[in-house]
Amino acid sequence: MPEAGRYLWRYSIPWMSPGTLEYLMTRIATDPFDAVPEVMARITSPGLLLTCGTEGNPITIGWGSVGIIWGKPIFTVLVRPSRYSFGLLRRLGDFCVNVPAENDAAMKSAVAWCGSHSGRDGDKASDCGITKEAGIVIDVPHIRECPVHFECRSVHANHVLDAEIDGGIRNRFYPKGDLHQIWWGEILGCWRVA
């Protein structure tokens, strides 16, 4: 289905909340590869916010990549089994990657909060003052305060394999196990503040 078709189908439903349409008019579809410089500029500092599950639990991630696999634009993210987000992703693999704006001090603290608190203990988004908005093409909320977000449909997931990984990386990143699971998400939509 073309993007515009998906968009209209999702939002022409009667329970659309007041203000949703106005909010959506502030977001425009963009080529995901045009947003890669912003991803690369923020991924290591302060980090990106991955939202997952229908509840949209935000978790800070510092690793990931955007590329082409299976002829599709793919966002790859890595989440350790010990995270609350891991269980959410196992149930609904779809996810959203939210990219904070440059020099946004409030978002910088929110990203730090989401990277040091767990969704097991409460609603992290409301605790750190960020807003979840309904997904546009997936059933996972995104973060309103992030000017760019990628909505991804899980097409594959697999663990980092202990027997196959470089010894130096294993020793440095996995001394206690908890090997990441990698999710490959087809980018169905990349949205930017108009």
Ligand X SMILES: Cc1cc2nc3c(=O)[nH]c(=O)nc-3n(C[C@H](O)[C@H](O)[C@H](O)COP(=O)(O)O)c2cc1C
- Strand partners of residue 78: 182
Q: Does 116 bind ligand X (CB under 6 A)?
A: yes
Distance CA 108, CA 7 (A): 30
CB nearer to ligand X: pick between 165 and 193: 165
Q: Does 60 bind ligand X (CB under 6 A)?
A: yes
3-state secondary structure of 121: helix
Distance CA 180, CA 194 (A): 35
Q: Which amino acid belongs to residue 76?
A: T
Of the residues 32, 47, 147, 185, which one makes contact with ligand X according to CB under 6 A: 47
CB nearer to ligand X: pick between 91 and 120: 120
Of the residues 35, 38, 51, 57, which one makes contact with ligand X according to CB under 6 A: 57
Residue nearest to ligand X (CB): 115
Backbone angles phi, psi at 153, to 5 degrees: -105, 125
Q: Does 6 bind ligand X (CB under 6 A)?
A: no
Residues 67-96 that bind ligand X (CB under 6 A): 78-80, 83-85
Q: How many angstroms separate the most distant Cα atoms in the chain?
A: 55
Q: Does 108 bind ligand X (CB under 6 A)?
A: no
Distance CA 172, CA 126 (A): 34
Q: Does 130 bind ligand X (CB under 6 A)?
A: no
CB nearer to ligand X: pick between 20 and 44: 44
Q: Which two structure tokens, joined as six digits, stand for 29? A: 């579809």
Using CB under 6 A as the criterion, which residues of the chain lie in contact with ligand X when the complex forms? 47, 57, 59-63, 78-80, 83-85, 115-120
